[in-house]
Amino acid sequence: MKKIRIATRKSRLALWQSNCVADQLRQHFPGIEVELLPMSTRGDEVLDRSLAEIGGKGLFLKELEVALVEGRADIAVHSLKDVPAEQPDGLMLGAFLPRADAGDLWIAGGGVAPADLPAGSVVGSSSLRRISQLHAIRPDIEVIALRGNVETRIAAVTEGRVAATVLAAAGLNRLAIVPPGAIALSMEHWLPAPGQGIIAIQCRLDDRSVIERLTALNCPTTALQAQSERAVVEALGGDCRMPLAAYGDVRGEQLDLRARLGGQGGELIDVRVSGKTADAVSLGRKAAAQLLAGGGKKILERLNLSPSP
């Protein structure tokens, strides 16, 4: 294989991530040609409605996946937190790059901490996971929908349209646009989206040549984290309508997995399971079962959702 074509979204962050993959391919396989195929997705184009209303985070992927299936691209690069738990027929996730900071950053005018935000302040976010955790610590604030690329959401704060917002640390660090006064939300009390901070590479199941090359880029530790966190999502039938958070901490051959499901009015259900990394998927399923048993089933029913059979 002398050339690899990468399907990517057109946002600056997506292009940064795809160029990162391209650079690694060139480093591991000198002489290989790598071409980026930037595409616009429905998730990028429809910004006046929440993702839950228009079909979920998978809308960031569909056009890229069609390009893979049709053979116009050899791989597609995604933020793993945007990738649904189930892969389309004929496609797979072939590699996970080393995970960046998985946490969230609190972005507020003047660097005001969450605890110091005046009562009734307006915070912008369209993430049900973030909204449920915000209301758990500050039930007195108002949250309004805020979508768009990271630059657009930062601008909403700097221009005073909202008092604050919450963004993934990985994206801001990758683009070197962390605003002054940004506050890291401690993972002891605030959990990220499953897969947050991970760049995933998607390919065709039958493309052995590409799969072999992607092996050189795969980070085994990150892959274990991804497997455990995505197993929680899959077991719950999770999508963007589900306020679900999860983080797997790998240390040697041990994996410590925390998961959280948010409800209305700041209700949060937390579970923690630990075991061998070889059992990453079963640990994720165990965490999901404990969430359901601890009240998660009622939360999903109120959201008109149901766990996977």
Alpha-carbon distance 88 to 300, whole Å? 24
CB-count exposure of residue 198 (10 Å: 0-12, 13-18, 19+): buried
> Rounded to whole angstroms, what are the CA distances from 278 to 111, 227, 231, 274?
42, 10, 13, 11
Interior/surface letters 156-172, b for 16+ CB within 10 angstroms, e for the rest: bbeeeebbbbbbbbbbb
Q: Catalogue the active-site residues.
A: 82
Q: pLDDT, tens digit, for every residue of 121-173? A: 999 999 999 999 999 999 999 999 998 899 999 999 999 999 999 999 999 99
The pLDDT assigned to 9 comes to: 96
**DSSP H or E stretch at residue 285:** helix 280-291
Would you say domain 1-97+198-218 falls under CATH 3.40.190.10? yes
- Given a contact cutoff of 8 angstroms between Cβ atoms, the answer to whether 198 and 248 are in contact is no
Output the pTM of the full model: 0.92
**DSSP H or E stretch at residue 168:** strand 164-168
Alpha-carbon distance 86 to 77, whole Å? 16
As its CATH architecture, domain 104-184 has 3-Layer(aba) Sandwich (3.40)
Q: pLDDT, tens digit, for every residue of 196-228? A: 999 999 999 999 999 999 999 999 999 999 999
The single residue listed with the structure tokens 């197993």 is 231
The single residue listed with the structure tokens 């994720």 is 284
Mean pLDDT, the chain, rounded, equals 92
Of 47-56, 234-243, 266-275, minimum mean pLDDT range: 47-56
Q: In CATH, what number does 219-309 get?
A: 3.30.160.40
- Given a contact cutoff of 8 angstroms between Cβ atoms, the answer to whether 204 and 65 are in contact is no
The ranges assigned to domains in the chain are: 1-97+198-218, 104-184, 219-309
Alpha-carbon distance 227 to 248, whole Å? 9
- Given a contact cutoff of 8 angstroms between Cβ atoms, the answer to whether 157 and 107 are in contact is yes
1-97+198-218 and 104-184 agree in CATH topology: yes
- How would residue 303 be classed by pLDDT, with cut points 50, 70 and 90? confident
